[in-house]
Amino acid sequence: MDFVSGEILLVNKPLHWTSFQAVNKIRYHIRNQTGVKKIKVGHAGTLDPLADGLLIICTGKKTKEIDSYMGLEKVYSGIITLGATTPSYDLETEIDQRYDLTGITDDLIKKTAAQMVGEQDQMPPIFSAKRVDGNRAYDMARAGKEVELKTKRITISNFEITEINLPEVHFKITCSKGTYIRSIAFDFGRLLNNGGHLSALRREAIGQFSLQNSQTVEEWVETIDKLRPINNSKD
């Protein structure tokens, strides 16, 4: 492998890791293997710490292609827990309101998912990396400040309910760049005249790149460390 000329690494990011931690770990071992201290290593789309799954990491000259990968459709699987909401729309924050699940049927759940397919305006969670007046929205939200965000046009191409075991609803979704699955979970609960939050998330695919073809961070580290060192004196 030639990390300086550029490689695309499909990484299975573990739960509770930030995308930066995964990149940083792999970058460290690539630097040791190549002897290039300033080699470029970056990811093509952040995956939250509370999510696992596919993270595309590009090295060297391949980092120039990152924007093109970020624009690809994404496929996620996960669990929406009905009957409760959280301020962050996921498990980062505590439940702030509970709802009665009486009247929520399997048929209603599936019809609601079908109703959400298509192009639409989505409101990002206030606990997001969106910038407001130069500040990250999540920093302002954690400080108790009021956060005003703008909607963004997104497309949900497919929203499949794969299992229902209330309060948990398992799903698989295909969506456009910039879609917040946490917001989908919240909106899903709202459309049911109930509450919902995201309790599990995995990124299964980015465009033609699949999680099935990925390796864990540890496996990539082992692969990189086994490569013959490249004698390159350049920084």
Phi, psi of 22 (to 5 degrees): -65, -45
Q: How far apart are CA 8 and CA 69, in angstroms?
A: 11
Q: Which residue has the tokens 């909401």?
A: 85
| Residues near 208 by beta carbon (within 8 Å), at least 6 away in sequence | 72
Measured at the alpha carbon of residue 21, what is the angle toward residues 17 and 27, in degrees to the nearest 5? 145
Q: Which residue has the tokens 């400040």?
A: 145
Bridge partners of 197, per DSSP, are 81
Q: How far apart are CA 48 and CA 166, in angstroms?
A: 25
Measured at the alpha carbon of residue 103, what is the angle toward residues 102 and 105, in degrees to the nearest 5? 115
Q: Which residues are catalytic?
A: 48
